[in-house]
Amino acid sequence: TCTIPCEGLAAYFSLYAGGGGGIGRAVCLRFAREGASVSVADICPEAATETLSLLPTKFSEQQHSAHAADVSNIQGVTSLLNKVQSKFFRSPCIAVNSAGITADAFLIKLEEEDFDKVLHVNLKGTFLVCQAVAKALVSSGASNGSIINLSSIVGKTGNIGQANYAASKAGVLGLTMTTAKELARHGIRCNAVLPGFIATSMTSKMPPKVVDKIISMIPMGRMGYPEEVAGVCAFLASDDSKYITGASIEVTGKVQEH
Ligand code: NAD
């Protein structure tokens, strides 16, 4: 079971789906620096292992691990939780859902297969990890937990060429708010982070002209960095946010529009 951290996130045991990616890796590094034990999970084993190799250990009790896992199906998530629990004899009390993909096309050209693929990883994967971690925490009698879901500003605004991605990220917001309401009485919080345009492999393949156009629409005049998303995740995992649940925090360099 979990204990309340006395310094940073020390004594917290955390699980990161998509921890081999740009944002996921920055979150893993930040949490390890704060003193948390980190289990990195990614469909790409090399990416998960590389993240593991970068993680610092501040305390002797800190234990990190890396796991290959596909979160888009229940077998992948069940086996991941089993591996993590049998290795460390406890359940994670922080989970960050960062696994995500895109398959962009205009609505009238969007293939059914690409719609399903994106929904399976981004929405169903987030649901399966939320459910598995919640089940484990509730059955262990833990009195605190924090689940952080990576949605996207696109889930609120929509985006041309991203009907599948926007639908998946809007779904993550509904899932987050419902999870927060259902789990509040167990002391488990669930919040969403909505990044805007962040410099990772997800955005690095975009043509320079498109990048310049997007940046020209950002009042802060630049892309965001994965570390800036990681800082918000660290806040949401820590006791500094212990009265915040069901919230969505935009990390976009913009003033919120309603
Ligand atoms: P990324 O591509 O660098 O990382 C995503 C990671 O998810 C990769 O390591 C990938 O291997 C992993 N992954 C993919 N499918 C998986 C599966 N089925 N099971 C387990 N792992 C899987 O992307 P990123 O920019 O770090 O994005 C992280 C999250 O933030 C995503 O959910 C993304 O949608 C969201 N986001 C990113 C941006 C941005 O501008 N980069 C903006 C808004 C939201």
pLDDT in tens, 169-219: 999 999 999 999 999 999 999 999 999 999 999 999 889 999 999 999 999
Task: Give the pLDDT of residue 146.
Answer: 95
Q: How confident is the prediction for the chain on average, in pLDDT? A: 92
Can you read off the two tokens belonging to residue 202?
């997800």
Question: What is the rounded distance in angstroms from the CA atom of residue 183 to the CA atom of residue 147?
Answer: 10
Q: Which pLDDT score, from 0 to 100, does residue 6 have?
A: 35
The reported pLDDT for the residue numbered 15 is 83
67-84: burial string, b at 16+ Cβ within 10 Å, e else: bbbbbbeeebbeebbebb
Q: In what order do the strands lie in the sheet with 188-195?
A: 65-68, 37-42, 13-17, 94-97, 145-150, 188-195, 248-251
How many whole angstroms from 195 Cα to the centroid of ligand 1? Answer: 11
Of the listed ranges 8-22, 101-115, 228-242, the least confidently predicted one is 8-22
The pLDDT, as a whole number, for residue 18 is 87
| Catalytic residue, candidates 12, 165, 225, 243 | 165
List pocket residues of ligand 1, CB cut-off 6 Å: 17-18, 20-24, 42-44, 47, 69-72, 98-101, 121, 125, 150, 152, 195, 197-198, 200-203
In testing the pocket of ligand 1, which one of 84, 202, 233 has its CB within 8 Å of the most ligand atoms?
A: 202
Residue 63 has pLDDT above 50, yes or no: yes
The Cα–Cα gap between 130 and 188 comes to 11
Give me the pLDDT at residue 4, please. 36
- SS3 state of residue 31: helix
Structure confidence at residue 87 as a pLDDT band (50, 70, 90): confident
Q: Which of 154, 200, 222 to mutate to test the pocket of ligand 1 (most atoms within 8 A of CB)?
A: 200
Region 140-144 average pLDDT: 83
What is the predicted pLDDT for the residue at 1? 33
pLDDT, tens digit, for every residue of 101-127?
999 999 999 999 999 999 999 999 999
Kindly give the distance from the C-alpha atom of residue 6 to the centroid of ligand 1, in angstroms, as a whole number: 31
Ligand 1, atom 29, lies closest to the CA of: 98
For 13-199+226-247, which CATH class?
Answer: alpha beta
Tens of pLDDT, residue by residue over 26-47, are: 999 999 999 999 999 999 999 9
**Catalytic annotation on 243?**
no
Task: Answer for the pair 49, 39: CB distance below 8 angstroms, yes or no.
Answer: no
pLDDT of 5 reads: 43
